[in-house]
């Protein structure tokens, strides 16, 4: 709240208020409530953001949770964090089998992956007008108007129904794998 105002300022403010009370119903209402010594009601709280159906509070960080899952099932972080340059292809290949086997199992049991296009790669496809640009990316000599005809280079991927473990108690999502000490 401003401190006590000098007389000239108050004279100008009274004059200004006179006209604003005349022309603005909202302003008039505010002054009326002030005059009745009632506090102005607070502005309405922002509408709550609708929550997804999944219990979000229980999954504080799905990205870290997914990373922990891939590490647990397929040693994903171990693999990326090791320098591959000094090892033979056979060694890297053997490790890749562990990662591939585990991560694939983890992904398949937690989400449904499917290609966006059913045609074989290399097939000629026609993209009709009104296609979704995030589903189909046009490359090469892109010009003119739909329908576009071209060669399918990549079928794309879509993940449906990603279901991650529900966290039952407070946990630190930044821990991707605990240290292990054998007794």
Partner 1 sequence: MSDPRYIIGIDLGTTHCAMAMALLPTGDDAKDTSPAVTAFPVPQLVTQSGMESRPLLPSCLYFAHASEGALALPWDKERTFAVGEYARTRGAESPTRVVASAKSWLSHTGIDRRGPVLPLGAPEDVEKISPVEASFRYLEHLGEAWDRDVAKGDKSLQLAAQEVVITVPASFDAGARELTAEAAAAAGIEHLTLLEEPQAALYAWIDARGDKWRKEVKVGDVILVVDVGGGTTDFSAIAAVDSGGSLELARVAVGDHILLGGDNMDLALAHVAARKLEEQGKEVDRWQMVGLTFACRVAKEALLNDASLASYPLSIAARGGKLIGGGLRTEITREELVATVIDGYFPVVEASARPAVRPRGGLTQAGLPYAQDAAVTRHLASFLGRQADAIAKVAGASPTTSGTLLHPTAIVFNGGVMKSPALRERIVSTLDAWLVADGAAPVRVLEGSDLDLAVARGAVSYGLVRHGRGLRIRGGTARAYYVGIESPAPAVPGVEPPVSALCVAPFGMEEGTNVDLPAHELYVVVGEKVRFRFFGSSVRRADVAGTELHRWKKDELAELAPIEVTLPAGARAEGDVVPVHLHAAITEVGTLRLEAVPTTALVAEERWKLELNVRGEV
Of the two residues 151 and 177, which places its CB atom closer to partner 1 in the complex? 177
The single residue among 9, 24, 114, 166 that binds partner 1, judged by CB under 8 A, is 166
- Residue 91 sits in the site that holds partner 1 (CB under 8 A): yes
CA distance 121 to 134: 19
- Residue 106 sits in the site that holds partner 1 (CB under 8 A): no
Backbone angles phi, psi at 97, to 5 degrees: -65, -40
| 3 state DSSP class of 28 | helix
- Residue 89 sits in the site that holds partner 1 (CB under 8 A): no
CA distance 75 to 100: 9
Rounded to the nearest whole angstrom, what is the least distance from the CB of residue 111 to partner 1 in the complex? Answer: 13
CA distance 89 to 93: 6
Rounded to the nearest whole angstrom, what is the least distance from the CB of residue 67 to partner 1 in the complex? Answer: 13
Residue 53: partners with Cβ closer than 8 Å, 6 or more residues away: none
With beta carbons less than 8 A apart as the criterion, state whether 81 and 106 touch. no
CA distance 108 to 110: 6
- Residue 162 sits in the site that holds partner 1 (CB under 8 A): no
Q: Which of residues 47-66 bind partner 1 (CB under 8 A)?
A: 65
Rounded to the nearest whole angstrom, what is the least distance from the CB of residue 122 to partner 1 in the complex? Answer: 25
CA distances from 53 to 20, 58, 147, 152, 153 (A): 48, 12, 38, 36, 36
The single residue among 28, 66, 98, 136 that binds partner 1, judged by CB under 8 A, is 98
- Could you tell me the two tokens for 156? 């794309």
With beta carbons less than 8 A apart as the criterion, state whether 152 and 125 touch. yes
- Residue 163 sits in the site that holds partner 1 (CB under 8 A): yes
- Residue 167 sits in the site that holds partner 1 (CB under 8 A): yes
Of the two residues 24 and 109, which places its CB atom closer to partner 1 in the complex? 109
- Residue 146 sits in the site that holds partner 1 (CB under 8 A): no
- Residue 165 sits in the site that holds partner 1 (CB under 8 A): yes
Binding site for partner 1 (CB under 8 A): 65, 72, 75, 78-79, 81-82, 84, 87, 90-92, 94-95, 97-99, 101, 163-171, 180
């Amino acid at each position: 709240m401003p401190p006590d105002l000098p007389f000239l300022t108050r004279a100008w403010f009274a004059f200004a208020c006179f006209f604003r009370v005349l022309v603005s119903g909202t302003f008039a209402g505010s002054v009326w409530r002030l005059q009745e010594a009632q506090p102005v009601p607070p502005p309405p709280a922002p509408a709550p953001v609708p929550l997804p159906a999944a219990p979000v509070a229980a999954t504080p960080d799905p990205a870290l949770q997914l990373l922990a899952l891939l590490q647990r099932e397929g040693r994903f972080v171990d693999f990326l964090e090791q320098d591959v340059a000094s090892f033979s292809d056979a060694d890297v290949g053997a490790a890749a089998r562990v990662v591939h086997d585990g991560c694939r199992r983890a992904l398949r049991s937690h989400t449904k992956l499917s290609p966006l296009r059913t045609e074989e790669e290399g097939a000629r496809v026609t993209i009709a007008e009104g296609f979704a640009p995030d589903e189909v990316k046009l490359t090469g000599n892109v010009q003119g108007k739909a329908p576009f005809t071209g060669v399918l280079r990549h079928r794309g991927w879509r993940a449906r129904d990603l279901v991650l473990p529900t966290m039952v108690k407070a946990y630190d999502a930044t821990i991707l794998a605990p240290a292990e000490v054998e007794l």
